[in-house]
Amino acid sequence: MPDVLLVGDWHLASVTAAGLTRLGYTVHLRPDALETPDRAAFDTLARGHRCGDEPEVARILAAAREKGTLRPVLDEAQVAEVLRHADMSLVVHDTGTAADGTVTDPRPVAALRQLLGDHRRRGPVVVASQLRAGTCDAALADAALPADSPDLIHIPENLRLGRAVSDFLHPARTVVGFNSPHLPEAVRDLLDRLGSRDELHMRLVEAELVKHGTNTYLALCITLANDLGTVAGHLGADPVTVLDGVRADERVAAGAPLRPGEPYAGATLHRDVRALVEHGEPIGRDGLFRAVAHANAVHALAPLAALDKHLEGVAERTVCLLGLTYKPGVSTLRDSAALRLADELHAQGARVTAYDPIAETADLPDVQRRTTFTEAAADADCVVLTVEHPAFTDPAFFESVTPRHALLLRLTGAERRSRVPTPHGWRSVDLWNS
């Protein structure tokens, strides 16, 4: 059974550990490379408490821990022992960012450089963390390794929240970045176990740029749909019909997110758009990427104008947010569009209540979070649907809820494409027909 050292934290580390144990690896898990982690840090990860309620992860990790294929690495003696015999070392920290996409987490790069420079290491270093283009080549140079060294491989993660285990175990596409003439045997074995339907080999910097480009393309599609949908609504056209027509063209990807709805959110897209802004600026090619970020920011504030219109001003009004997370079915609040809206409403004198049955616990000073939707909506002048959690799709969900005004503002798109039914007696509006 092959052994790997896994250095990382949060969602990516949790899913990777679970996936590797399912593939037959013994995973030696170290939560942090910068500080000596304690047992509690390992236990938190191993129990699935750092995966954002990702389905299956906690169960797989518990089984691996009981079987002995998930083991802690908590001190330097253990690090040295594992490095001497591990087939490879993986860097799987999620890369933390600020709201504008600026990288704020030094741990992925620090872990990468430490492992590359550690003379005790037997196997290659494989980094799946989200990296700025140029990071891998710089890390090789810092470690005094040749530019074509086989010691570093970049396989950018391509996991979607809510289905990450399936994405890991059954990848439709795997990008593999390396500068050496041949892949190390241990990495070839990993790729064979994954069995990707499409395996693309390229240089390290090219793999980094593929990640930036993929996420920026998705961000561009989302902003195009929202802005074109808004123009369509202004001209009396149905935004959904217009975007369906665009997507029907064979030159447009069938899976492109061309549906009017929420602004893009979550750290991933913001981070990669920001990276291309900064890489493009010195050569005068940052305009498109800045425009994407600007258009998304404008759309994120569009609900304020709609609420101001329907409520005849938001000051001293009560607005109930139905959903707080940035995506359906996940608990993370990181870079949530709903929380940004709450901040703006609060700044304009509105009282903001909220109900989200799965969002993680957090201190939200501008939001009065309630334990039931009935409580959250009781005095509301408007209920704003910000994310379509599965619980909200049950027609019985709205029963017995009697807000002051039965107005439902949909930020997730047109009603006929929504999984959330409009309750009897309520008035449903969205940003494109309001």
- Give the closest residue to 88 by CA, choosing from 139, 138, 150, 137: 150
Crossing angle of helices 10-22 and 39-46, rounded to 10°: 70
Q: Which CATH architecture has domain 300-430?
A: 3-Layer(aba) Sandwich (3.40)
- List the structure tokens of 29: 């898990």
Residue 369, helix vs strand vs coil: strand
Average model confidence (pLDDT) across the chain: 94
Burial 96-115 (b: 16+ CB within 10 A, else e): bbeeebebebebbbbbbbbb
Give whole-number Cα distances, 240 to 116, 273, 299, 408, 415, in Å: 50, 26, 17, 19, 10
Whole-structure pTM value? 0.92
Percent of the chain with pLDDT over 90: 82
Residue 195, helix vs strand vs coil: coil
pLDDT at 298 over 80: yes
What are the extents of the domains in the chain? 3-202, 211-294, 300-430
pLDDT in tens, 118-129: 999 999 999 999
Crossing angle of helices 287-310 and 267-280, rounded to 10°: 140
Q: What pLDDT was estimated at residue 37?
A: 87
Percent of the chain with pLDDT over 70: 100
Question: Comparing 65-69, 248-252, 290-294, 404-408, which segment has the lowest mean pLDDT?
Answer: 404-408
Q: What pLDDT was estimated at residue 417?
A: 86
For 3-202, CATH number? 3.40.50.720
Q: What pLDDT was estimated at residue 252?
A: 95
151-173 average pLDDT score: 94
Beta bridge partners of 4: 27, 88
Contact of 408 with 422, CB cutoff 8 Å: yes
Q: What pLDDT was estimated at residue 434?
A: 62
For 423, which DSSP code? Answer: P
Q: What pLDDT was estimated at residue 222?
A: 97
Handedness of CA 421, 424, 430, 433 (dihedral sign): positive
Amino acid at 70: L
Element (H, E) at 154: strand 152-154
Give whole-number Cα distances, 395 to 72, 100, 161, in Å: 46, 37, 26
Question: Comparing 152-161, 233-242, 262-271, which segment has the lowest mean pLDDT?
Answer: 262-271
Amino acid at 385: L
What is the phi/psi pair of residue 201, to 5°?
-100, 140
Q: What pLDDT was estimated at residue 16?
A: 98
81-94 average pLDDT score: 96
Name the residue with higher pLDDT: 161 or 324. Answer: 324
Name the residue with higher pLDDT: 267 or 407. Answer: 407
- List the structure tokens of 210: 């593929």
CA atoms in the 13 A half-sphere facing the CB of 118: 23
Give the span between the Cα atoms of 331 and 223, in whole angstroms.
Answer: 24
263-279 average pLDDT score: 93
Q: Name the class of domain 211-294.
A: mainly alpha
Question: Comparing 34-43, 73-82, 189-198, which segment has the lowest mean pLDDT?
Answer: 34-43
Give the span between the Cα atoms of 93 and 8, in whole angstroms.
Answer: 4
Q: What pLDDT was estimated at residue 338?
A: 93
pLDDT at 161 over 90: no
- Give the closest residue to 267 by CA, choosing from 33, 382, 105, 380: 105
Measured in residues, the chain has a length of: 434
- List the structure tokens of 263: 């602004």
Q: What pLDDT was estimated at residue 97?
A: 84
Residue 161, helix vs strand vs coil: coil
Give the span between the Cα atoms of 65 and 69, in whole angstroms.
Answer: 6
Give the span between the Cα atoms of 327 and 349, in whole angstroms.
Answer: 27
pLDDT at 233 over 70: yes
Same topology for domains 3-202 and 300-430, yes or no? yes
